[in-house]
Amino acid sequence: MRQSVNILPDSRARGHGGGVSMGIAGTWIPVFCANCGADGGHCPEENMSFLFYLCNKCAETYGTIANTMFMPDEVFWKLLTAEQLEQYGRYLTIHELEQVIEDEKNSLTKLIRSKH
């Protein structure tokens, strides 16, 4: 019996077009739905070797993919908001988030990096 490996497509933009400079957080590149091509926001260009993304509509239509982590965007953003409020008592500015991302032991950093 021959086993096959499921290889998911990379949802990051190819090339450097559309990248956004985030200061100390580096350049972030566009992400698109692997099925329909819908905008999926941006991800860090550095230290990212792969990212697979399905928009909410495609995820609802086609369901979860076996042996993969699945977290809808709304759930991720709720977790991110809750963590900011619990840890800091307020929403952080973009400059504060840039500083937080540098601290690998910070629970907010771990949450941000787990999404991508």
In this predicted structure, what is the pLDDT of residue 38? 93
pLDDT of residue 110: 79
Query: Mind listing the pLDDT tens digit of every residue in the chain (116 residues)?
Result: 455 556 778 888 877 667 777 777 788 889 999 999 999 888 888 777 888 888 889 888 887 776 666 666 667 778 888 888 888 899 888 788 888 888 888 888 877 776 54
DSSP code at position 45 = S
Q: What is the pLDDT of residue 8?
A: 79
3-state secondary structure of 47: coil
User: What is the per-residue pLDDT for 36?
Assistant: 94
Instruction: Write down the domain spans for the chain.
Output: 1-70, 71-116
Helix (H, G, I), strand (E, B) or coil at 81: helix
pLDDT at 67: 62
Output 109-116 pairs: Cβ under 8 A, ≥24 positions apart. 111/79, 111/80, 111/83, 112/80, 115/71, 115/76, 116/43, 116/44, 116/48, 116/51
Question: In this predicted structure, what is the pLDDT of residue 5?
Answer: 55
Which amino acid, residue 43? C
What confidence score (pLDDT) does residue 48 get?
74
How much is the pLDDT for 6?
62
The distance of Cα 50 from the centroid of its chain, to the nearest Å, equals 11
